[in-house]
């Protein structure tokens, strides 16, 4: 296994070297007056619903960052407030409006998913409330001219070609079937993979979120004689599709994106999950051992998909507060100019809010667990 990041000084300690606590000073508070010691960071994403595990992973990462900050700043604490979208784009605008109406919220960790980001980010941008998504990967999100949008990880223009490369070079597949769940995220990622695979694609299909009968797709996959399937979507539907494919005797390799990289997939798919390849622009937990240890002590489990990215995103906002940058405009400027080492990478954003450091890893379900396979170069 190749190393993703070489750590020098402990990154966890570095994340906590936040000097002082935000005061009014030269910057007004988000509420326009009073103390800056009652400020909030918001988490925006699914905490309930079919994709809740992915949102909870991120929320716990952000929560750990806030807890550690408050231990160092006991007289000037920050609160993490949550906005549970259930991953539903239809709920996102009202929730975004609620978030911007709370004048103590100075930044949002999220939105977690691409569909809800598309619906909510125009509201955040209009209000000037900065967002750092640890997980929404649709490339188009950074192309809307939003001044408040930042992304902690490489988008699907990075992940899609990496997935296609793995399918071609590592799996050595000859015929690939591509399916997606018709979501902003799933279809976007699948389309990129499909484009990169070109003539290797022998069939395609679109399904729907919350669908449970995939017999039509299974029949198409079998008829195509594909030796690999790429699925763009989330773990709830992917698990059902995997079970139905295996029940019908299909022997090919299942390859999925980061929306499926969750233990919920293994629990639902059972033995059918074994051998599934998962791509993700996210950090293997063992590559950040101090963070892994602190997370496990706090929550009783290892950090999961995007926990570390949620932690890094929250720490950017906490660094802004520690530096006294507590007005919305000052926070935005601080984030735009941020350049410091985090748990997952050197954190720095380009003019569109994309990260300067991008990597993609392949993971594999082995022995009922998701384990790192290799960094896809």
pLDDT tens digits, 258-287: 999 999 999 999 999 999 999 999 989 889
The set of residues, in sequence order, having a beta carbon less than 8 Å from that of 175 and lying 6+ positions away, is: 200, 202, 224, 225, 226, 227, 228
φ, ψ for residue 278 (rounded to 5)? -125, 130
The set of residues, in sequence order, having a beta carbon less than 8 Å from that of 236 and lying 6+ positions away, is: 50, 51, 209, 210, 264, 268
Q: What is the CA radius of gyration of the chain?
A: 21
The tens digit of pLDDT for each residue in 163-214 reads: 999 999 999 999 999 999 999 999 999 999 999 999 999 999 999 999 999 9
Topology adopted by domain 157-280 = Rossmann fold (3.40.50)
Q: Which CATH superfamily is domain 11-155+284-348 in?
A: Response regulator (3.40.50.2300)
Position 35 scores a pLDDT of 52
Position 254 scores a pLDDT of 98
Burial of 279 (0-12, 13-18, 19+ CB in 10 A): buried
Position 7 scores a pLDDT of 34
The tens digit of pLDDT for each residue in 326-349 reads: 999 999 999 999 999 999 999 999
Position 348 scores a pLDDT of 98
Cα separation, 233 vs 247, in Å, equals 21
Cα separation, 29 vs 23, in Å, equals 8
Cα separations (Å) of 18 from 147, 278, 294, 321, 337?
A: 25, 36, 18, 9, 16
Cα separation, 150 vs 110, in Å, equals 9
Position 70 scores a pLDDT of 97
Question: Which part of the chain is CATH 3.40.50.2300?
Answer: 11-155+284-348, 157-280
Positions in the chain short of pLDDT 70: 1-35
What torsion, rounded to 10 degrees, do the Cα atoms 361, 362, 366, 371 define? 0
Q: What distance separates the 2 farthest-apart alpha carbons in the chain?
A: 68
Cα separation, 305 vs 279, in Å, equals 11
Q: What angle do CA 194, 200, 202 make, to 5 degrees?
A: 85
How far does CA 162 lie from the centroid of its chain? 17
Position 55 scores a pLDDT of 97
Position 16 scores a pLDDT of 39
Position 327 scores a pLDDT of 97
């Amino acid at each position: 296994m190749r190393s993703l990041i070489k750590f020098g000084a402990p990154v966890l300690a570095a994340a906590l070297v936040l000097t002082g606590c935000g005061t009014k000073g030269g910057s007004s508070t988000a509420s326009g007056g009073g103390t800056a010691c009652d400020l909030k960071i918001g988490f925006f994403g699914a905490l309930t619903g079919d994709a809740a595990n992915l949102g909870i992973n991120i929320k716990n990462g952000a929560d750990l960052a806030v807890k550690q900050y408050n231990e160092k700043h006991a007289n000037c604490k920050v609160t993490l407030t949550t906005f549970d979208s259930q991953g539903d784009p239809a709920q996102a605008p009202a929730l975004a409006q609620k978030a911007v109406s709370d004048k103590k919220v100075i930044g949002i960790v999220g939105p977690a998913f691409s569909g809800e980001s598309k619906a909510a980010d125009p509201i955040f941008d209009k209000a000037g409330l900065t967002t750092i998504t640890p997980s929404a990967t649709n490339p188009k999100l950074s192309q809307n001219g939003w001044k408040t949008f930042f992304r902690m990880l490489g988008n699907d223009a990075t992940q899609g070609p990496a997935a296609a490369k793995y399918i071609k070079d590592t799996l050595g597949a000859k015929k690939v079937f591509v399916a997606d769940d018709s979501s902003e995220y799933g279809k976007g990622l699948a389309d990129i993979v499909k484009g990169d695979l070109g003539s290797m694609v022998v069939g395609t299909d679109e399904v729907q979120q919350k669908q449970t009968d995939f017999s039509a797709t299974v029949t198409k996959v079998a008829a195509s004689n594909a030796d690999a399937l790429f699925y763009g979507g989330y773990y709830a539907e992917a698990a059902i599709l995997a079970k139905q494919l295996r029940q019908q005797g299909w022997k090919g390799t299942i390859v999925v994106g980061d929306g499926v990289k969750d233990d919920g997939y293994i629990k639902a798919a059972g033995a059918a999950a074994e051998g599934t390849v998962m791509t993700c622009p996210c950090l293997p937990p063992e590559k950040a051992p101090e963070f892994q240890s602190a997370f496990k002590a706090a929550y009783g489990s290892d950090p999961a998909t995007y926990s570390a990215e949620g932690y890094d995103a929250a720490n950017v906002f906490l660094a802004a507060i520690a530096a006294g940058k507590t007005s919305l405009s000052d926070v935005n400027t601080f984030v735009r100019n941020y350049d410091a080492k985090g748990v997952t990478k050197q954190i720095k954003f380009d003019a569109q809010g994309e990260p300067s450091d991008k990597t993609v890893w392949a993971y594999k379900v082995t022995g009922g667990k998701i384990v790192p396979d290799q960094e896809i170069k």
